[in-house]
Structure 1
Amino acid sequence: GMAEEEARMMRIDPEKLTQIILMGYTTKEARRGLRSAQGNIDQAVEFIIENRRLREECHREEEAREEEERIQRRYGLTENGQKINITYLQQLQSMGYPRRACVEALKQSNNRLEEASEMLLTNLDTLITASRVAKRDNEDDDDQETELMEDATHIPQLIALGAEFEEARALLEIYGNRLERAVEELLQKAQDSYETMHEHNDPSLFERARTAVEKRMAKKIRLAEQSAADQQRRT
């Protein structure tokens, strides 16, 4: 009856078990898979794969949660006692602002994203200074960020001109935070990539063509002068 049927389903074919283990799965996974799939190998493997995916997903979510909590513990609360909104923090950082300044803006604006981004746009220096003070107060801060705080004010300007965040930071490092030089190189790079995209009307080609024409003209003039001089000598 029912009990026998259940016992039969619980029994696992050792050959099938071995087959699944040879695919690289654990004995425990193979057993559970075969039980859930009532002995069907393909379905058992599908069950194992799906199970692994779910476990991996849970693990990732757990890690993300722990990271969020770590950041929130590190940076403290907003002025009205809320934890820092991590999603907003990431959004502001993706605009090219340094993390500490973003945190400070969110703290002062009580997690109001629009207000925080407005503050970053207009008062970045003040926020950076405030975040430095906060960092000094927080002795156990293990923040390993290699942020160029002084350069940070220029990063959004370079991003607005089409630079990637890392590229903007690198340019400011190269030129010792001289915005004009960084902008110059950025525009030159943009120009170069534009030229390679539009080979047929490449200004450098026009340049080379003009040089060649000028050389030919100069040669013609030289030859004409020479023949005129020869003519004169003969007369």
Structure 2
Amino acid sequence: MSNHHSIDDVITQVRAKLQQDGVKLWEPPYYIEPESQDDELEELGRTYSLLLGISAPMCIAAVKELQSNALEKIAAKARFNATGIASLKIRIPNQPGGTLLHSFDIKLTENGKALQEMISSKIEIPYNRIKLIFSGRVIDPSKALIEQRVTNNQQLLALVLPASDDIQLENDIYDRVAKIKADAEILIKNRNSEYMVMEDQQGNPVYLPESERNALMLGLALHEKGRVLLNRENYTEALVLFLEADNEFSTCHSKLLESVDNYALLNLDIVWCYLCLKSVTQLPDAERRLKLCEDNFRKSYGENFDRVIGLKGSDGNEKALIMRLHLLQAILYYHQNRRAEAQGILSLAESELLCLKVDESALTNLIEMGYSLTEARIGLRARGNNIESAINFIMEQRERRKEARKKAKEEQKLLSRGFRGGTINPNTLKQLIEMGFDKDLASVALEQTENDVARAVNLLQEDTENLRKKLKKRRKIDVEQNLLDNLVSIGFDTNMARMALKKTENNLDSSSSSTFDQAKELIQTKRDEAEAFQRFREDYNNDEDEYLDLPLIQEETLILEYKKALNMM
């Protein structure tokens, strides 16, 4: 009999066998009020030892622990029914001595902060360094637990944010998520901001209604900042940012999320964090997210990656993401005691990984030629480690993006000439021109209706005079030099002052404080955007394909670990 099982593995197998046999450890003959019947439990453990091929002492220990857990839940349920006091288990990873598991009794009408403070007292860590995760959501400290669907006998994940010797820096750490979110909102607020542009995989601009655009871009921004932390193996803060991003994505139309791979990547990253924090078994949320990810990849990439091959000429790097998905599914199946399924999909992940390995000498050669690590690895993976072919692939990808952006920039410059409003969808404008409407008037109408063709047509038919007035006002304004000099002389940046004069149509009479204030407000907005961008881009990877650049070192280690656990070696 094998002695190489972990206690968690044994408990998983014994629990499944008990459920299969309909054995209830809290009833006779295994428990007779008021005490456990050790002889019966030990006999059951020895029987399961023979059936499962696990040592008798480990089987007996597992049976006793499962009985203890069951009795504890029954007592907690009775106490909750009588008093309204819930029993919650809190799992706290990455603590001295490993992962901690504590039980807390609390009324569900209490808010999240009250639970944070209880945990804080137990582990002697300031409460504001503790983030609670339940069912894939960050617990709001200000809301009642019951409002956040927390129920009796549930298990939550507690993430402890890092400490610092510097009190001010420590406070900054507490506020980091809020500050990142605030910076992203500043950049997203202005549709014409040069800092935040939504593009597809080829560099073409993507046009969406205002509300969905803002939510999607904020979600993407938070996800990207989280990936910076993920690459540093700061899984705690990365997970918090990922869940904030998920909250933004949840407000977008489901059809939109199904058509792009960003949401799938976010779910994959969330489950990867669960795994690295040793919390996959504690959060059923992982299974839901992996299913979402699998469905989304299929729609985004095509059944046989035909969409990816059509776009990029290769599917090698997307297959790295699929390999990680399969690995996570195998690990989840293992912890659910679906061992045959786990073995099958783990073998698949291993074969996929072998096909994705990059030749280290070829990688070094490309880096020495001046290509980035990400470009080099992606190119070699796409072209089967052939250096010359990989270089061609890299250059083709660069050229595709360059041409797409050049075209988009020219289109937008043409569309926005003389305008200062929102972004206009070139394809939508083309439809109106083909209907016979004037291009400039159609542009104003689309700007007014956020690219809604039906509403724009209505304006063009019913309110042409008003559109002409708006068009006249929006013709290009030449900045008056004396006004520009006046603004610069009192401390405004030249470029920002010029934008303000265009915005107010040179109407900066000192007697008109409202227009002067308007100019100052515009300049301050531009300054805020620039400062927010500088903060936001700190440690940011500018390589657009970075999300595909998986070194696969951790994946290889995990495959070996779970092959051993599944007796596949």
Band the TM-score falls in, shorter-chain normalisation:
0.3 to 0.5
TM-score by length of 1: 0.33
Q: Which has the higher strand share?
A: 2
- Select the structure of larger CA radius of gyration: 1
